[in-house]
Amino acid sequence: MDPLFDFTGKIVLVTGGSRGIGYQMVKAFATRGADVIIASRNLENCQAVAQECRALGRQALAISAHAGRWDDCDRLIEQAYAAFGRIDVLVNNAGMSPSMASHEVTEKLFDSVVNLNFKGPFRLASQVARRMADGEGGCIINVSSSGSTMPLPRAVPYGAAKAALNAMSMSLASEYAPKVRVNTLMPGAFRTDVVKAWPDKGLGPIAIPRGHAAHPEDIVTSALFLASPASINVTGSIVRCDGGQH
């Protein structure tokens, strides 16, 4: 294993880690030696992923938590530190992006989208960053979206919340430096189980330079880079992994 991408002995927490790109990230870190904490609202799914990681010889903790609620975020942090004593890598991945005409968005839906995509990640990142800064340091990766920097009709609250996440990463990177690195990973369209809801099931061409939606491994490798010593000089950055989507 390349020593730059050997995570043996590292503790990695991934929200939204039981499905989609979060699941792919959990497995990628575990395959490379990390012990993992899998968080999502569905405990049974988290436990299934944890069992997969234990089969690889890793320690794995499954926690049911709503990443948009501060009480759940605080409980998640306490349980993670009680089990492992630290978090070396936090991946704020949980999110939601319902499609709806802007004039039809209810206050409840608006709050749900902003809470999960920005409010909760802020709480997790700020509290974990403080603990990292008081300890041995660490790395935080906030998963944003290409929709945060381009027109996104019918998903305005989502794009706006992800744009706030971009700004948050830069500010936290400055506030908790030099021991904590904070970056944004900005994927575009990618093929996981979410593509089942797409008309073409994610198989058709799309109007970006690469020509098609990414495979999960195309995104995961960028997360591994941001979490590894290979990116020691990268912080406060927005790393686009979108196939050239604008």
Which among 44, 43, 51, 45 has a CA at the least distance from the CA of 75?
A: 43
Tell me how far CA of residue 66 lies from CA of 101, 130, 196, in angstroms.
26, 21, 24
Report the C-alpha gap between 242 and 212 in whole angstroms. Answer: 10
Side-by-side strand order, sheet with 60-64:
60-64, 35-40, 11-15, 89-92, 138-143, 180-187, 238-241
Residue 158 a catalytic site member: yes
Per the residue annotation, which of 23, 81, 158, 176 is the catalytic one? 158
Helix (H, G, I), strand (E, B) or coil at 184: strand
**Residues whose CB falls within 8 Å of the CB of residue 196, separated by 6 or more in sequence, listed in order:** none
Active site residues: 158
